[in-house]
Chains A and B, each alone.
Chain A
Amino acid sequence: MNLAYRDVRHNLFRFLLTCFGLSLLMAVVLSMIGIYNGLVVDALTIARAPGADVWVVEEGTRGPFAEASRIPADTRESVARLHGVTAAGSVTYQTAEADFAGGKLRLYVVGHEPGRPGAPKDLVAGRPIARSHYELVADTRTKLELGDRLRLGRNSFQVVGLVRNHVNSGGDPAVYITLSDAQTLQFELAPPAARVKIARGGSVEGTDTVNAVIARVDPNISADAVADTVRRWKHLAAMSQAGQENLLTRSVVDRARRQIGLFMAILLTVSAVVIALIIYTMTMEKLKQIATLKLIGAPDRTIVGLIVQQALALGGIGWAFGLGVVMLVKDYFPRRVVLEPENALVLAGIIAAVCILASGLGVRAALKIDPATALGG
C-alpha cells in the first residue's frame, strides 16, 4: 500500500494546487535558463549567419560587434587575394529605428554584397536580394511580410525575403540590405547637414567604408594563419570565427549572462526554500498520523517513504507543469527562449536533489515524534 499516493489522492485538489504554484516557480526558472541560452545563441546567430572563417576589422578594435570598426571597402579586394581565401565580402552593421504599422521598429541593419559572403543563407520565405537597391530580407520577428515596404533613412525598401531567428545580442531583429544601401544609411549625411558642412569649409567624406570584411578560407588552410597574415599589414586587425564567437560570449553578452545566471541561482535557491517549507508544512500537518503509524508498528522507512515520495511527486509534477507552461508560452517572449532537452533534464536532477534535501527537514521532524503523541487527546 503506497501511503504517499493515498494521501495525495485524498487531498488531490490541494496537492495539485500546490504543484501548480510550484510549477509557476519552475516555469520562471526554466524561462531564465531558456533566456540565458537564447542570449548566447542570439549573440552568435548574426556572427554565424555569413559563414565566415576570418573577420577583418579596423586595427586596434575588436569589431564589428564588440567595438565600432571602420575600414575602407577596398580592403575586400586585398583580403580576397590572400593565399587560402576562397571568397571575401564587405559587411556593415548598425542599429536603426523605422516606423511600421503605427509603431517604432528597432532593427539591426546588416549591409552585405549580394553574391559574396555576408548574405543570409537560411531564408524561410521569399528570395535573396536580387537588385542593387531598395530590397531587404527581414527577420520574422519584425512582423514584416513579403511585399511590405519599409522606410529606412531617406529610402523605401521592399521586403523580398524572410529569415527566422536572426537577432543581435540585444534582441533586435535583423534586416539585410545591400552594402551600398547600408553605406548610404550609415555614412551619408542628410542633404541639409552636408550643405552646412560644406558651408563651414569642410568636405563631404566618401561613403565607401565598411565595418568589416569577412573571408572564407580553403578548408586545407588554417584560418588563424590567414588572420596572422592580415595582422602583418598593421592597419587592420583580424580574428578567426572561433575568436569572434569567443569575444561575443565572453565580452559582449558576458554581463547580461552573469546577471541572468545570478538571477537563476537565486530563483533556484528560492525554489529550494519554498519546496522545503511546503514539505515541512505537509509533514507537520500529519504528525499525529505519523505518530499513529509509529505506534502501530510502521518502520521508519515507511514514514520516510511517505514524506520523500510526496516531496518527489511535488517536485516532479511542478517541473513537468512548469516545462509545459514554458513550452506553451516561450514563443511569445520578447526574447528568444532556447530550452535544450539537457537543460530540462539537468533542472529535473536539481529539483530531485532539492526535494530530497528539503524533505530532510520533514523527515527529521517525523522521526523525532514520540509515538505516545498518538495516545493523547
Chain B
Amino acid sequence: MSTRDRKVLIEIDAVSKHFGEGDTRVDALRQVSLDIRSGEVVALLGPSGSGKTTLLNVIGCIVEPAAGRLVIDGEDVYSGRWLRGDLRRLRLDKIGFIFQFHNLLPFLDTTDNVALVLELAGKSRRQARERAVELLEYLEIGHRRDAMPAQLSGGEAQRVAIARALANNPRIILADEPTAALDSKRAGIVMDLLRKLAAEQDACIVAVTHDEKIFDRFDHIFHLRDGRLDGNGGEDGAATG
C-alpha cells in the first residue's frame, strides 16, 4: 500500500492556540497544518517553547485549539457540541498515551495497569485481564505480569506503559519523550517495537523527542519553531519506511 493510499488518521488544519492575553499572550501554535496517516511514525522536534507539547496536547484532545480544525480518525473534534465526556470517550477509544516517565499507577500490578484501560472501556474484569496478559506476552514482558511498577526496571516499565497505550487498539499513539528515561539500546528496542505496532495495527505514532539516537526510526520528522512548522511544512525527510 502506498503512503497516499493510507487513511489520514490525524488531520490538523490551520490550528492555532495561544495562552494568556495582552502583554502576557503567548502564541503556542500558529496556523499549523499537517496530516498523519495510518502506519506512520512521526516525530515532533523543536526547541523548548516551540509548541510541540501543545501540539501533542491538541492532538490528544487535552487542549482545545483557539482556531482551526482537528479531525481524529474521521471525527471532526470540536465541531458542534463536544462535551468533556465526549473527549474522554474519544481518548479512551482512539488514542493511547505513552509518557516520558511511564506513569504506571503504583498501586496496581503490571496486568491491572493494562487491564484498567479495558475495564474503563466496558470490558469485564476477566476479559480485561486476559487481553492485558496477551499484550504483555506480545511485548515480551509476560513474566512480569504480577510485578508492581516499583519492581520493574525502566525498560520493563516503559513496555508495560506501551501495553497500556495499546490496550484498546487505539488508532493513534501519542508519546511524550518515550525514550528519555532509557539507555540507547533500550531506546532503540522501544522505538522498533513502536514501529512494529504501527505497521501491524495500522496505527500512527506521534512522538515528541529530543533523542537524536532514534531519529532514524521515524518516517517523518516535523520541526516546530515559535509555534510554526519550519520550512517545507516542517517536514524533514523520511527515514526507513
What class of interface size applies to chain A in its complex with B? Answer: 20 to 34
Contact B106–A296 (Cβ < 8 Å): no
A374 closest partner in B (C-beta): B103
- Is there a chain B Cβ closer than 8 Å to A9's Cβ? yes
Chain A nearest CB: distance from B168 CB in Å?
8
Q: Chain A residues near B148 (CB, 8 Å)?
A: 10
Contact of B120 among A288, A289, A292, A302 (CB under 8 A): A302
Encode contact with B along A222-235: 1 for CB under 8 Å, 0 otherwise. Answer: 00000000000000
Contact A296–B112 (Cβ < 8 Å): no
Encode contact with A along B79-94: 1 for CB under 8 Å, 0 otherwise. Answer: 0000001001101110
Instruction: Please measure, in the bound complex, the distance between the C-alpha atom of A292 and the C-alpha atom of B103, giving whole angstroms.
Output: 7
Given contacts A289-B105, A292-B103, contact A299 B88 (CB under 8 A): yes
Given contacts A7-B107, A288-B103, contact A298 B60 (CB under 8 A): no
Instruction: Please measure, in the bound complex, the distance between the C-alpha atom of A116 and the C-alpha atom of B176, giving whole angstroms.
Output: 92
Main DSSP-derived SS at the A contact region: helix
Instruction: Please measure, in the bound complex, the distance between the C-alpha atom of A295 and the C-alpha atom of B99, giving whole angstroms.
Output: 11
Q: Chain B residues near A9 (CB, 8 Å)?
A: 107
Q: Chain A residues near B189 (CB, 8 Å)?
A: none
Contact A295–B106 (Cβ < 8 Å): no
**Beta-carbon contacts under 8 Å, A8-46 to B:** 9-11
Contact A6–B97 (Cβ < 8 Å): no
Contact B106–A375 (Cβ < 8 Å): no
B88 closest partner in A (C-beta): A297
Contact A297–B89 (Cβ < 8 Å): yes
Instruction: Please measure, in the bound complex, the distance between the C-alpha atom of A54 and the C-alpha atom of B92, giving whole angstroms.
Output: 77
Contact A377–B112 (Cβ < 8 Å): no
- Is there a chain A Cβ closer than 8 Å to B225's Cβ? no
Q: Chain B residues near A161 (CB, 8 Å)?
A: none
Instruction: Please measure, in the bound complex, the distance between the C-alpha atom of A197 and the C-alpha atom of B162, giving whole angstroms.
Output: 103
Contact B62–A370 (Cβ < 8 Å): yes
Contact of A292 among B100, B105, B125 (CB under 8 A): B105
Contact of A299 among B60, B62, B100, B120 (CB under 8 A): B120
Instruction: Please measure, in the bound complex, the distance between the C-alpha atom of A306 and the C-alpha atom of B125, giving whole angstroms.
Output: 18
**Beta-carbon contacts under 8 Å, A294-325 to B:** 294-299, 302
Instruction: Please measure, in the bound complex, the distance between the C-alpha atom of A377 and the C-alpha atom of B181, giving whole angstroms.
Output: 10
**Beta-carbon contacts under 8 Å, B212-227 to A:** none
Contact of A371 among B62, B101, B116 (CB under 8 A): B62
Chain B nearest CB: distance from A196 CB in Å?
84
Encode contact with B along A183-205: 1 for CB under 8 Å, 0 otherwise. Answer: 00000000000000000000000
Contact A297–B62 (Cβ < 8 Å): no
Contact of A297 among B100, B117, B125 (CB under 8 A): B117
Given contacts A1-B125, A292-B105, A297-B91, contact A375 B120 (CB under 8 A): no
- Is there a chain A Cβ closer than 8 Å to B199's Cβ? no
Instruction: Please measure, in the bound complex, the distance between the C-alpha atom of A302 and the C-alpha atom of B176, giving whole angstroms.
Output: 25
Q: Chain B residues near A11 (CB, 8 Å)?
A: 107
- Is there a chain A Cβ closer than 8 Å to B121's Cβ? yes
Contact A297–B57 (Cβ < 8 Å): no
Given contacts A296-B120, A297-B91, A299-B120, contact A375 B107 (CB under 8 A): no
Contact B106–A1 (Cβ < 8 Å): no
Contact A296–B117 (Cβ < 8 Å): yes
- Is there a chain A Cβ closer than 8 Å to B119's Cβ? yes
Instruction: Please measure, in the bound complex, the distance between the C-alpha atom of A288 and the C-alpha atom of B117, giving whole angstroms.
Output: 17
Contact A1–B91 (Cβ < 8 Å): no
Contact A295–B91 (Cβ < 8 Å): yes
Contact A6–B89 (Cβ < 8 Å): no
B129 closest partner in A (C-beta): A1
Given contacts A289-B106, A295-B62, A296-B97, contact A375 B176 (CB under 8 A): yes
Encode contact with B along A315-339: 1 for CB under 8 Å, 0 otherwise. Answer: 0000000000000000000000000
Given contacts A375-B99, A377-B101, contact A299 B125 (CB under 8 A): no
Chain B nearest CB: distance from A2 CB in Å?
11
Contact B112–A6 (Cβ < 8 Å): yes
- Is there a chain B Cβ closer than 8 Å to A66's Cβ? no
Contact A375–B91 (Cβ < 8 Å): no
Instruction: Please measure, in the bound complex, the distance between the C-alpha atom of A1 and the C-alpha atom of B117, giving whole angstroms.
Output: 11
Chain B nearest CB: distance from A245 CB in Å?
56
Instruction: Please measure, in the bound complex, the distance between the C-alpha atom of A280 and the C-alpha atom of B176, giving whole angstroms.
Output: 29
A367 closest partner in B (C-beta): B84
Encode contact with A along B113-142: 1 for CB under 8 Å, 0 otherwise. Answer: 001110111000100000000000000000
Instruction: Please measure, in the bound complex, the distance between the C-alpha atom of A377 and the C-alpha atom of B101, giving whole angstroms.
Output: 7
B85 closest partner in A (C-beta): A299
Chain A nearest CB: distance from B108 CB in Å?
6
**Most chain B CB inside 10 Å of its own CB: which residue of A3, A292, A296, A372:** A296
A6 closest partner in B (C-beta): B107
- Is there a chain A Cβ closer than 8 Å to B144's Cβ? no
Instruction: Please measure, in the bound complex, the distance between the C-alpha atom of A288 and the C-alpha atom of B103, giving whole angstroms.
Output: 8
Q: Chain B residues near A10 (CB, 8 Å)?
A: 106-107, 148
Known pairs A289-B103, A297-B93. 9 more at Cβ < 8 A?
A3-B108, A6-B112, A292-B99, A296-B91, A296-B164, A297-B92, A375-B57, A375-B60, A377-B100
14 A–B contacts from the bound complex (CB under 8 Å):
A1-B108, A11-B107, A288-B103, A289-B103, A289-B106, A292-B103, A295-B91, A299-B88, A299-B120, A372-B57, A374-B97, A375-B60, A375-B97, A375-B99
For the complex of A and B, list the 4 residue pairs with the smallest distance between their C-beta atoms, beginning with the closest.
A297-B92, A10-B107, A7-B107, A292-B103
B residues lining the A interface (CB < 8 Å): 53, 56-57, 60, 62-63, 85, 88-89, 91-93, 97, 99-101, 103, 105-108, 112, 115-117, 119-121, 125, 148, 164, 176-177, 180
